[in-house]
Amino acid sequence: MSDTGEAGAAEKEMEKAMDGFLRFLAIERGLSDAYQTSVRQSLDAFAAWMKARKCGLAEIGTDELAAFLGLRKQESLIASSLRITTVHLKIFFRWMTNTGRLPMDPAEPLLAPRPDATLPETLSQKEVAALLDSIDGTQLLGWRDRAILELFYAAGLRLSELCKLRLESIDFDECFLRIQGKGGKTRLVRFGGKAREAIEDYLKNERPALVKKRTGSHLFLSVRGGALSPDRVRQIVKERAKLAGIEINLYPHLLRHSFATHLLEGGADLRVIQELLGHADISTTQIYTHVDRARLKAVHTKFHPRG
């Protein structure tokens, strides 16, 4: 079949799926005409995006959906409308999966943006230094907790990525981590000398005492010898922030935001930051340019004589 024929077949497949889904909303869910119209508008926009890229439903994955939503954001779609579009895509692809039209749901990992979403919070470089320097390695679990926070900030890891990190994933000679991120994608992330020192101190002074008979190769261990859970790591971060006198609500992803923001402030290229963070689409990384612009605006307003 020619490219034109394949494109036409993909377009008809999408139109048929949309019609079936809207009938489902009307007949089985009994949803209003206004709601059906809203859903149709979201799906029409997505169908037009698919047509422009000559791809069919079988080729749509989470990255493609994120790219479409990123484009809509660049087109100045307000946060509330972007949230509605995301919800429409999620319920459409959930229906496609539940009815056997697709083997897997590519929209399941998508998170709808919060209404009136604000720019991500970040710590200042001084606050990060105060947090990390406040942890005394000689105290109970101090080596471990310092290594955790150093690594969050040094490598910009997601919480799930840190919890899954294994000893064999660390290259101490070159200071690289092999990270398995979203969608099973692997990337290399560099960490600095301070983080290397903190990890080596933990491996030498504390991890051996945490090892039990059934302990695996996870880097960070609980007192029972198992891998630390995400909830426990969140708790550790909050406890260490409180002890350091940091008053804002500190959570692991805030350290990831700080990592990216401080790189950008230091002059790092946005594409490099995208690769380090493991973002599939550059539009996700571009939020940090807004953070940097907001910081510059605040500094200008505060210090310029006619700000």
Whether residue 203 is contained in a domain is answered as yes
Whether residue 307 is contained in a domain is answered as no
Nearest to 9 by CA among 67, 68, 50: 50
Q: Quick one: pLDDT at residue 290?
A: 62
Whether residue 241 is contained in a domain is answered as yes
Q: Which of 73, 218, 256, 262 is catalytic?
A: 256
Which residues neighbour 214 within 8 Å (Cβ) at sequence distance 6 or greater?
Answer: 225, 226
Domain boundary among 63, 98, 133: 98
Q: Is 182 a catalytic residue?
A: yes
CB 82 within 8 A of CB 73: yes
- Measured distance CA(156)–CA(256) in Å, rounded: 4
What does the pLDDT average to over 247-273? 85
Whether residue 113 is contained in a domain is answered as no
Q: Is 90 a catalytic residue?
A: no
Same domain, 47 and 150: no
Whether residue 103 is contained in a domain is answered as no
What does the pLDDT average to over 235-264? 89
Q: Which of 72, 90, 146, 288 is catalytic?
A: 288
Same domain, 61 and 167: no
Angle between helical axes of 252-265 and 125-133 (0-180°, round to 10): 130
Which residues neighbour 85 within 8 Å (Cβ) at sequence distance 6 or greater?
Answer: 42, 45, 69, 72, 77
Nearest to 112 by CA among 65, 176, 59: 65
Same domain, 161 and 247: yes
Same domain, 145 and 286: yes
Report the phi/psi class of residue 234: left, alpha or beta, with left for phi > 0 and alpha for psi in -120 to 50: alpha
Q: Mean pLDDT in the chain? A: 86
Q: Quick one: pLDDT at residue 108?
A: 87
Same domain, 41 and 77: yes
Q: Quick one: pLDDT at residue 1?
A: 38
Q: Which of 146, 158, 196, 257 is catalytic?
A: 158
Q: Is 158 a catalytic residue?
A: yes
Q: Quick one: pLDDT at residue 307?
A: 52
CB 97 within 8 A of CB 106: no
**Count of beta carbons in the 10 Å neighbourhood of residue 145:** 24
Enter the DSSP assignment of 59: G
Long-range pairs of 24-31 with CB within 8 A, sequence gap ≥ 24: 24/95
- Measured distance CA(154)–CA(260) in Å, rounded: 10
Q: Is 293 a catalytic residue?
A: no
Q: Sign of the CA dihedral 244, 249, 252, 258?
A: negative
Same domain, 146 and 287: yes
Same domain, 77 and 216: no
What does the pLDDT average to over 168-184? 87
For the ranges 93-107, 136-150, 171-185, 279-293, the lowest mean pLDDT is seen at 279-293
Q: Is 304 a catalytic residue?
A: no
Angle between helical axes of 142-155 and 193-205 (0-180°, round to 10): 150
For the ranges 12-21, 261-270, 297-306, the lowest mean pLDDT is seen at 297-306
Domain boundary among 98, 113, 144: 98
- Measured distance CA(178)–CA(307) in Å, rounded: 46
Give me the residue label for tokens 């609500």.
249
Using DSSP, state whether 283 is helix, strand or coil.
helix
Q: Quick one: pLDDT at residue 81?
A: 84
Whether residue 237 is contained in a domain is answered as yes
- Measured distance CA(255)–CA(180) in Å, rounded: 19
Q: Which of 88, 144, 164, 279 is catalytic?
A: 279
Reported pTM:
0.58
Q: Is 288 a catalytic residue?
A: yes
Using DSSP, state whether 18 is helix, strand or coil.
helix
Whether residue 284 is contained in a domain is answered as yes
Whether residue 115 is contained in a domain is answered as no
Using DSSP, state whether 295 is helix, strand or coil.
helix
What is the per-residue pLDDT across 34-72, written as a single tens digit (0 to 9) for each?
889 999 999 999 999 999 988 889 889 888 998 899 888
Total domains in the chain come to: 2
What does the pLDDT average to over 97-109? 90
Confidence of residue 2 (pLDDT cuts 50, 70, 90): very low
CB 119 within 8 A of CB 287: yes
CATH assignment at residue 228? 1.10.443.10
User: Which range of residues forms the domain containing residue 262?
Assistant: 125-302
Q: Which of 182, 232, 234, 295 is catalytic?
A: 182
Q: Quick one: pLDDT at residue 116?
A: 46
Tallying the residues shown for the chain, one arrives at: 307
Same domain, 246 and 180: yes
Q: Quick one: pLDDT at residue 31?
A: 83
Domain boundary among 98, 133, 152: 98
Same domain, 282 and 151: yes
Q: Which of 40, 166, 194, 253 is catalytic?
A: 253
Same domain, 48 and 137: no
Same domain, 283 and 198: yes
CATH assignment at residue 75? 1.10.150
- Measured distance CA(38)–CA(85) in Å, rounded: 9
Same domain, 94 and 144: no
Q: What percent of the chain has a predicted confidence (pLDDT) above 70?
A: 86
For the ranges 78-87, 154-163, 165-174, the lowest mean pLDDT is seen at 78-87
